[in-house]
Amino acid sequence: MKNKFLQLSMLALTAGSLFLTSCSKEESSKTTPADTGIAVSETNTSVINKYTGSKCGPCGGWGWDMAVELIDYSPKACYVGTFSQNFVAEEFISTTATTWDKELGVTGYPTFAVNHVLQLDRSSGVNTTSEKAKCKAAIDAHSAAAVQANVGFTTSWTQDAEGFWTININSRTKFFKENSGEYYVGCYLLEDKAIGKQTGHTPSVGVEHHHVLRQTLEGLNYGYLAATNPTSGKTIDKTYTSIIPKNYVKDNMEVLFVIWKKNGSKYEFVNASTNQK
């Protein structure tokens, strides 16, 4: 019990300013034989990031409406509410969101990115029609491209005597093409309908936010090094285990895997896999 209390105290302190990024005693991952029943589909899925802030009027206005429209573009893409440390930040701030934000050079909020590339048309104000079209074009192009690699996974849940839920994720990464370079795989937890404040919305005590980036497993913004110069057909199995803080709603939790290719000091998006509803 004492050990659990210390762990949760550390989680609460971290979430107050940045977010959970460190591995605790009860959060771990390892490379082991995965469930042989895991299937890896040869499909491409995009990731839409809305870089946002809860004290941002436009984020709760046209940005909110644009997000709702882009969310409906599934299953070609999944959506991530990405709250970085910025001048309109208050709720849900995470170190991973901040890292991605700074790498892309986001300067205004909201800003939408598809597959880790900004989709902007702001030469004379924000052209939302053009930006939505850019997002959808990027998603369609990725959907139609040859699949380089993908991740299949299964999840299960356990609950301890104190009521804490633990998520267990069993994953398999498969490469469909022979490629050169270093490939990383990141595992992220999202929470749909996360309650928090948002300028422009009522009640002031909180509204439901869509698919919020909550946690990066292992504390790695871009995941672990899965393969170098992978051959076609190569597979890597990995398991993850993480306690879910009680302020998260277990039934609203979602898993997102992203495959990245490292290019110098930058990480390029390759593909994503999710159980986002």
What pLDDT does 237 receive?
A: 97
Q: How confident is the model at residue 36 (pLDDT cuts 50, 70, 90)?
A: low
Please, what is the average pLDDT of the chain?
88
What pLDDT does 33 receive?
A: 43
Phi-psi region of 39 (alpha: psi -120 to 50; beta: other; left: phi over 0): beta
Report the range of poorest mean pLDDT among 5-14, 159-168, 199-208, 225-234.
5-14
Element (H, E) at 270: strand 266-274
Q: Is the dihedral of CA 165, 213, 84, 90 positive or negative?
A: negative
Whether 68 contacts 35, CB under 8 Å: no
What pLDDT does 30 receive?
A: 42
Report the range of poorest mean pLDDT among 1-5, 49-53, 64-68, 92-96.
1-5
Buried b (16+ CB within 10 A) or exposed e, 6-22: ebbeebeebbeeebbbe
Write out the two tokens for 212: 């919020």
What pLDDT does 277 receive?
A: 82
Q: pTM of the predicted model, to two decimals?
A: 0.86
pLDDT digits (tens, 9 = 90+) for 196-237: 999 999 876 789 999 999 999 988 999 999 999 999 999 999
Phi-psi region of 206 (alpha: psi -120 to 50; beta: other; left: phi over 0): left
Give me the domains of the chain, ranges plus CATH numbers. Answer: 46-144 (3.40.30.10)
C-alpha–C-alpha distance, residues 145 and 139, integer Å: 10
Q: Is residue 23 over pLDDT 50?
A: no
Angle between helices 62-71 and 128-144 (to 10 degrees): 20
β-pairing, 111-114 with 46-52? antiparallel
Residue of higher predicted confidence among 3 and 113: 113
C-alpha–C-alpha distance, residues 117 and 120, integer Å: 9
What pLDDT does 37 receive?
A: 80
What pLDDT does 202 receive?
A: 82
Which residue carries 């299953």 as its tokens?
75
Mean pLDDT of all residues in 124-143: 97
Mean pLDDT of all residues in 8-35: 37
Q: What does DSSP assign to residue 54?
A: T
Assess whether the previous peptide bond of 58 is cis (omega < 30° from 0): no
pLDDT digits (tens, 9 = 90+) for 43-56: 999 999 999 999 99
C-alpha–C-alpha distance, residues 142 and 139, integer Å: 5
CA atoms within 13 A on the CB side of 266: 11
C-alpha–C-alpha distance, residues 90 and 107, integer Å: 17
Backbone angles phi, psi at 250, to 5 degrees: -55, -45
